[in-house]
Chain A
Amino acid sequence: MCTKLLADYGADVIKIERPGRGDPARWIGPFLHDLPHPERSGLFLHLNTNKRGITLNLKTETGRAIFFRLLATADIVVENFHPRVMPSLGLDYAALSAVRPNLVMTSISNFGQTGPYRDWSASDLILYAMGHEMWGTGQPDAEPAGMANKLNLHMAGLMAYMATLGAFFGAQFQGVGQQVDVSIMEVLASSIDRRAPSLLAYQYCGERAVRIPSVHGVDAPPFVNYCADGFFEITVGINWWAEFVSAIGEDWIRDPEFKPPVRTVQARERFDSHWIPWCMARTKKEIVSLFQKAGIPCAPLNTTEDLVNDPQLTERGFFIDIDHPMAGRLTYPGAPFRLPASPFQIRRPAPMLGQHNSEIIGELGYSAGDLEVLSAAGVI
């Protein structure tokens, strides 16, 4: 994700993969037509747009020699191996910056480059459990709940991108190259999505964020509500109560006990006895449009199908089609941010494994014959 964003906004990103199987993401789905194939993983195709790709075995001396020659013209190195790997290959920041003094090296890892968990293994879910607000997420009668699959890893990638840009700015204009140590656990622990404020609130008042039951534990209306054709999300509370009452415009809503905070179970049940039928008689679209006219934050609970067909995203031309030699023409998410003077551009699809070996390694002076030898030796 980090290097995708660098590439999407113009950097010449050279992806280095191990010969043979390549990046493990090539083997993670979703796959085109559900048939596992290293050039047809939606995950890999999405995360590697605009990159050129080579294969290189960094465990060989020749592989490392080629790496150092590439490094001589590089501004940034981004890696997310286990923290022990780069030093064990003789590729720690000291070795790399000896070749490129102003180098920015971004090292993304589960727990950071130091500390007692440095060598622990983890996953998206485990990092959320340890770093983020999982314990307070979900229902008290069920296990703590996570986020969408791989979301945390991708958010950490976005943060690593920001950190890399910041460090690169410093390298360019303060003359300070350095290593950026991104611990995914700490990215999540400092997240403004509930975790950082919950940690601070614990410091302030000694109370933890707990899992609150969605039925009788919160104000009316709750955030997520059923309606005729699905669900919608609304925030009312004290801030939008007046607007909410006038948007509904019916007598029942004027019951003074409905005004937040709703203090009794009876009042909440009486509210629901009006509110649920009101919602069930209307569609998502009707409800969102009604409350939006009243200036109340409200949105449908969409599916991915809804997104691809959404009028707003269509009008803005968000989704883009990209051709790929082995995956064909597919629709991808487009620009995450719009900078008209230095825009997101698709120059090429994700690289096939070793696609640019001869172009990139060839430019270093290796002949076609040399490349064959390197290939036979398992270096590329």
Chain B
Amino acid sequence: MPGLPLEGLRIVDLGVALAVPYGTMLLADLGAQVIRVESTQVFPNQTRGILARPSKKAVETMAPISGGYPDREPGERPWNRFPWANCTGRNKLGMTVDLRKPSGLAVLSRLVRISDAVVENNTPASLERLGITYEWLRAIREDIIYVQLSSFGQNGPYRDYRALGLQVDAFCGHDMLRRYRDRDPSYNTWAVPSDFAGGVAAASACILALLHRRRTGQGQHVDISMVENFINLIGHIVMDYTMNGRVQESYGNRDPDMVQGVYRCKGDDRWVAITIATDEQWKGFVAAAGNPEWTRDPRFTTVTDRIRNQDALDPFIQSFTSQYDHRDVAELLQRHGVPAGPVLDDADAFADPHLKARGFFIPVSHPDAGRHLYPGMPWKLSRTPLGVRTPPVRLGEHNQYIYKELLGYSDEEYRELETEGHIGTEYAPHIR
């Protein structure tokens, strides 16, 4: 069996919250040895929970995405059972060290010496305040790659602004671009595609820098602004302004070039998404709907007519879709060459025959969370398949191996570092 693409590389993951832990997991999937560096003395926001030790009652009041601990029980070590963290932890090793102490920096320094890249997305300048800078890292290892992901970038007037993915999305204009067409953006559900994109960007930039280092022997300091990365993904909308002076409004679920929408189906809160771009697809739709009278309405004759008169068309489309189950109507339309798909809730996704056939969900046993199906890989490799080699990493899970085997600390030194509060598998008692 040939090696995974990034086998033999070691990455130090100083990430918090979502983006970098997600990005370094993508590198871990590809075979890099990713070492997650955390602290038992500091509880970073939104990383291993909203709180380290939430009460059962607090957990029950939270939406499942944050309060959805196994069986809604925080358990003895809630930080190892938090759904967000357990979606970014597979295939990683984990250690703890308190980087606020000089002895902690000494530990990190040993780790950096044997690593290829360091990736982080802490609050701006917080690592700098601890003395962790590119210059510091480079003095330890000349060709180190340092990837810093931040909301606004490593310089400029907003450098020190705090923003989570929600604020990055808002700043980039995304809230204005995705609101309901007939409601203001205060009706938006929070969303963090900028965290997703930021994580993928951090992983991409890290590989780019590794490629460059293989060629030249040169490391580098990578600066990624989540805002700049995200704007690239809505570049066509920004260019409508730079070309035409037009500030685009939200299309909601519609599209300027096609008839498109989400329509109610039979059953409770069931929906289907449909896109009708061409005359051919319209003909398919008409046939699938059983050629009803209303499809011959002159307002719906051409592509342009249908887009222009979509307000009139939508109730008719819904009168058709609402007779069917959301899966059945999508299949019926697809058989007639019409792009359509059911809106799949979280339960539907696990029952979806396609995701099943592709083996998307992967069973994973986790010592603190139990055995469950996990959402799997975003893509597949033909010769060196990706997989879950180790379950989501627990706090300090590999301290013994990393300190002793990788960093060469003796048993005695290990015990000392333990006493100093560097090494552990539980958050310090003062952390709630």
B164's closest neighbor in chain A, by CB?
A: A297
Interface readout for A233-244 with B: 1 if CB under 8 Å, 0 if not?
Answer: 111011100000
The answer to whether A29 touches B257, judged by C-beta atoms less than 8 angstroms apart, is yes
The answer to whether A202 touches B64, judged by C-beta atoms less than 8 angstroms apart, is yes
The answer to whether B349 touches A299, judged by C-beta atoms less than 8 angstroms apart, is no
A286 within 8 A of B: no
The answer to whether B170 touches A115, judged by C-beta atoms less than 8 angstroms apart, is no
Q: Out of B87, B200, B210, name the residue touching A200 (CB < 8 Å).
A: B87
A341 within 8 A of B: yes
Q: How far is the CA of A305 from the CA of B272 in the complex (A)?
A: 34
Q: Out of A30, A125, A306, A316, name the residue touching B253 (CB < 8 Å).
A: A125
- Interface size for A (C-beta < 8 A) is 153
A42 within 8 A of B: yes
The answer to whether A333 touches B88, judged by C-beta atoms less than 8 angstroms apart, is no
Evaluate whether A238 and B51 lie within 8 angstroms (CB atoms) in the complex, with A170-B384, A180-B380, A333-B235 already known: yes
Q: What residues on B are CB-neighbors of A331 within 8 Å?
A: 239, 242
The answer to whether B239 touches A143, judged by C-beta atoms less than 8 angstroms apart, is no
Contacts across chains A and B counted by CB atoms under 8 Å: 525
B375 within 8 A of A: yes
Stretch of B91-99, B290-298, B336-344, B406-414 lying at the A interface = B336-344
B426 within 8 A of A: no
Q: What residues on B are CB-neighbors of A136 within 8 Å?
A: 189, 345-346
Q: What residues on B are CB-neighbors of A139 within 8 Å?
A: 180, 183, 187
The answer to whether A307 touches B231, judged by C-beta atoms less than 8 angstroms apart, is yes
A308 within 8 A of B: yes
A291's closest neighbor in chain B, by CB?
A: B162
B42 within 8 A of A: no
Q: What residues on B are CB-neighbors of A345 within 8 Å?
A: none
Chain B CB within 10 A, most for which of A28, A111, A144, A162: A162
Chain B CB within 10 A, most for which of A150, A191, A306: A191
Chain A CB within 10 A, most for which of B69, B191, B232, B379: B379
Q: How far is the CA of A226 from the CA of B236 in the complex (A)?
A: 27
In the complex, what's the smallest C-beta–C-beta distance from B30 to chain A, in angstroms?
A: 4
Q: What residues on B are CB-neighbors of A162 within 8 Å?
A: 26, 200, 203-204, 207
A134 within 8 A of B: yes
The answer to whether B354 touches A46, judged by C-beta atoms less than 8 angstroms apart, is no
A77 within 8 A of B: no
B61's closest neighbor in chain A, by CB?
A: A261
The answer to whether A303 touches B224, judged by C-beta atoms less than 8 angstroms apart, is no
Interface SS of B by simple majority = mixed
The answer to whether A300 touches B220, judged by C-beta atoms less than 8 angstroms apart, is no
B136 within 8 A of A: no
B53 within 8 A of A: no
Stretch of B1-9, B103-111, B302-310 lying at the A interface = B1-9
* Those of B1-56 within 8 Å (CB) of chain A: 2-7, 18-19, 22, 26-27, 30-31, 45-46, 50-51
The answer to whether B346 touches A341, judged by C-beta atoms less than 8 angstroms apart, is no
Q: What residues on B are CB-neighbors of A190 within 8 Å?
A: 360, 375-378
The answer to whether A125 touches B197, judged by C-beta atoms less than 8 angstroms apart, is no
Q: Out of B72, B160, B191, name the residue touching A205 (CB < 8 Å).
A: B72
A318 within 8 A of B: yes
In the complex, what's the smallest C-beta–C-beta distance from A113 to chain B, in angstroms?
A: 8
The answer to whether A301 touches B220, judged by C-beta atoms less than 8 angstroms apart, is no
* Those of B218-242 within 8 Å (CB) of chain A: 218-225, 227-229, 231-242
The answer to whether B244 touches A34, judged by C-beta atoms less than 8 angstroms apart, is yes
* Those of A113-156 within 8 Å (CB) of chain B: 114-117, 120-131, 133-139, 142-151, 154-155
B430 within 8 A of A: no
Q: What residues on B are CB-neighbors of A70 within 8 Å?
A: none
Chain A CB within 10 A, most for which of B186, B199, B214, B244: B186
The answer to whether B358 touches A33, judged by C-beta atoms less than 8 angstroms apart, is no
Interface SS of A by simple majority = mixed
Evaluate whether A174 and B349 lie within 8 angstroms (CB atoms) in the complex, with A125-B273, A202-B68 already known: no
The answer to whether B64 touches A112, judged by C-beta atoms less than 8 angstroms apart, is no
B334 within 8 A of A: yes
Q: What residues on A are CB-neighbors of B225 within 8 Å?
A: 316, 318, 338
A248 within 8 A of B: no
B193's closest neighbor in chain A, by CB?
A: A193
The answer to whether B271 touches A125, judged by C-beta atoms less than 8 angstroms apart, is no
A295 within 8 A of B: yes
In the complex, what's the smallest C-beta–C-beta distance from A206 to chain B, in angstroms?
A: 8
Chain B CB within 10 A, most for which of A150, A311, A316, A336: A336
Q: What residues on B are CB-neighbors of A306 within 8 Å?
A: 173
Q: Out of B84, B158, B224, B260, name the residue touching A336 (CB < 8 Å).
A: B224
A181 within 8 A of B: yes
Q: What residues on A are CB-neighbors of B350 within 8 Å?
A: 199, 202-203
Q: Out of B161, B172, B354, name the residue touching A115 (CB < 8 Å).
A: B354
The answer to whether A304 touches B240, judged by C-beta atoms less than 8 angstroms apart, is yes
B188 within 8 A of A: yes
* Those of A314-361 within 8 Å (CB) of chain B: 315-316, 318-319, 330-342
The answer to whether B166 touches A223, judged by C-beta atoms less than 8 angstroms apart, is yes
Q: What residues on A are CB-neighbors of B191 within 8 Å?
A: 133, 137, 147, 193-194
A188's closest neighbor in chain B, by CB?
A: B378
Q: How far is the CA of A196 from the CA of B118 in the complex (A)?
A: 25
The answer to whether B173 touches A304, judged by C-beta atoms less than 8 angstroms apart, is yes
B345's closest neighbor in chain A, by CB?
A: A135
The answer to whether B341 touches A127, judged by C-beta atoms less than 8 angstroms apart, is yes
In the complex, what's the smallest C-beta–C-beta distance from A233 to chain B, in angstroms?
A: 4
Top 4 A-B pairs, shortest CB-CB distance: A170-B5, A201-B68, A42-B239, A233-B170
30 A-B pairs whose Cβ atoms sit less than 8 Å apart in the complex = A42-B243, A47-B236, A93-B382, A120-B341, A125-B255, A130-B344, A133-B191, A135-B346, A151-B234, A155-B233, A165-B211, A176-B384, A189-B360, A192-B87, A197-B65, A199-B349, A204-B69, A204-B70, A208-B64, A208-B346, A212-B189, A224-B186, A301-B176, A304-B173, A332-B239, A337-B204, A338-B153, A339-B208, A340-B220, A341-B219
